[in-house]
Amino acid sequence: MKQPPLGGGGRGFVSRPFVLQLFLVLILVFAWAGTAAAHAVAEGDKGYIQEITGVNLIPFIYLGAKHMVTGYDHLLFLFGVIFFLYRLKHIGIYVSLFAIGHSTTMLLGVYFGWNVSSYLIDAIIGLSVVYKALDNLGAFQRWFGHQPDTKLATLIFGFFHGLGLATKILEYEIAQDGLVPNLLAFNLGVEIGQLIALAIILIGMSYWRKTSSFIRHAYTANVLMMTAGFVLIGYQLTGYFVA
């Protein structure tokens, strides 16, 4: 799975309309992000989680799927992970590793009540986006002469993504009655939502890759993704020191 070099040679060929479109997308993302922290649950869903008791599988599947398809931090990371993956086999491996990591810490974090700062965890999640963009740009190979284990990194960052969600669920004091079935249902919903989001991303990527502009624009796309990651880090660290 060799990726094309995205060094300085590609920068001069990026069209202004494309850059403008990507910046508009980022502006929309962060305008929304300013009103909702990463992994946040909508107020209506928050009230539902706090009040509901007993086993409620379908509602929690829905909540899990909704979380994933609206989780901009998850989607940015997944976008980076599959950016240079062309075979479904390879996509399946990386997405499965992310799902294993995400599911493990989400379930264990809520069940055992791990008390971790959501701001710091979400800052690390922003770092995962920066890492993946730098990896796609070939920065580690150029800077250090070494390529990190991308599969291991995907699994490790998956742990942090799941822990970020667990910290939010714990804040809403989910009822102990039916906790395990509801958590499993929520996790199933997360995986369903991940598949839906992944399908949409792959459809868009498949069309983009067929155009002659893909490699020329890939550099800019990853630089902007890295910028988004830094903004997420700054947003969360500001919340940590101000709160």
Q: Please check whether residue 65 is in contact with residue 190, taking contact to mean a CB–CB distance below 8 angstroms.
A: yes
pTM confidence score: 0.82
Structural domain contains residue 214: yes
Distance CA 42, CA 235 (A): 19
| Banded model confidence at residue 12, pLDDT cuts 50, 70, 90 | very low
Q: Is 74 exposed, middle or buried (0-12, 13-18, 19+ CB in 10 A)?
A: buried
Residue 7 has what DSSP assignment? S
Split into its structural domains, the chain has a count of 1
Higher pLDDT: 7 or 88? It is 88
Tell the residue number behind the tokens 């069309």, with chain if given: 207
Structural domain contains residue 47: no
Average pLDDT over residues 87-109: 94
pLDDT in tens, 40-72: 556 667 777 778 888 989 989 998 898 888 888
Structural domain contains residue 19: no
Structural domain harbouring 176? 55-242
Structural domain contains residue 36: no
Looking at the chain, the whole-number percentage of residues with pLDDT higher than 70 is 82
* pLDDT at residue 17, as a whole number: 52
Chain mean pLDDT for the chain: 83
Structural domain contains residue 30: no
Tell the residue number behind the tokens 């999640």, with chain if given: 125
pLDDT in tens, 137-192: 999 988 988 888 999 999 999 999 999 889 888 877 788 888 999 999 999 999 99
* pLDDT at residue 9, as a whole number: 41
Structural domain contains residue 41: no
Structural domain contains residue 50: no
Structural domain contains residue 234: yes
